Amino acid sequence: MARARHGEWLLRMDDLDTPRVVPGIADDIMRTLERFSLLWDRDVYWQSRHNNEYQLAFEKLQSLGIIYPCYCSRKEITQSASPPEGDDDTLIYPGTCREGSAKLGTARSWRLKLDDSRIFFEDLCAGDVSQKIGESCGDFVVKRGDGTFAYQLAVVIDDYHAGVNQVVRGADLLWSTPRQIFIQQQLGIEQPTYAHLPLVTNHDGTKLSKRDNLVSCQLQNWKEKEGVLMEWILKSLGMELPRELHGAGCFELLQWGNDFLINSQSSLKILSKQARIFPVVSS
């Protein structure tokens, strides 16, 4: 979609949670993308190198009076009176520390104080989306007690600094989008367009995990899998390959996909609303 519109396709490593980063995994991701001919524009953006930008945004939100320290543990939130679950199955914070807390010590997190507004946006795949985030997720974390910035704040700042104007990602992040739009509104940041694709699933219908079906150029017989996987990816997006392209390499398949989108009246008309079943890729 980006290339068909003469735009840029950017690669960002979401490595904020440094202790959980697996050594060597970023290099493997990049080498695998290259083998698929998925070549990114500009330098790779590493979240772990941009804490200063996140801190400045955090301080601006603080100056607006909508950030407060929270001393609640996850166990305490879970045990609060009949806690409902939000749209994305997260626990809704009951607002225990919203007006201050008698607890002493280091805050476990810093939360963004939400109002009663309803967030609306048009998703290029899901259509019109509306969410009253104060009721759907409660005041959410933007910074952890250990100083790590939360995903919701970081990606807003990442997209802003990179000049991202279109975000294409999985449907499991659909209900995170209103939270990010709320942050954008508070910081005066222009809102990108969004397209949330149906999830790739296992045969039992569960969301595919990175652990379940590793896609890596380090797998045995990887060369035999590249073209097959790329054909499956294009087919899952509704692109029926012409017979003469079966068995072609990734670069040629991507070039054909790019031309397909350019010649389509609307690139998103090809996107299926159904979840895609991932083929077995063994080592």
For 276, phi and psi rounded to 5 degrees?
A: -105, 140
The confidence band for 283, taking pLDDT boundaries of 50, 70 and 90, is very low
- More confident of the two residues 223 and 132: 132
Nearest-angstrom CA–CA distance, 115 and 121? 17
The confidence band for 282, taking pLDDT boundaries of 50, 70 and 90, is very low
Question: What is the pLDDT, as a whole number, of residue 280?
Answer: 44
pLDDT over 90 for what percent of the chain?
Answer: 39
Q: What is the tens place of the pLDDT at every residue in 168-218? A: 998 889 999 999 999 999 999 999 999 998 877 777 777 766 665 566 666
Nearest-angstrom CA–CA distance, 45 and 158? 8
The confidence band for 151, taking pLDDT boundaries of 50, 70 and 90, is very high
Q: What is the tens place of the pLDDT at every residue in 248-267? A: 888 898 888 888 877 765 55
Give the domains, in start order, of the chain with CATH numbers: 65-197 (3.40.50.620), 200-277 (no CATH)
The whole-model pTM stands at 0.86
Question: What is the pLDDT, as a whole number, of residue 219?
Answer: 59
Q: What is the tens place of the pLDDT at every residue in 52-97? A: 999 999 999 999 999 999 998 888 888 774 555 656 667 788 888 9
Nearest-angstrom CA–CA distance, 186 and 64? 8
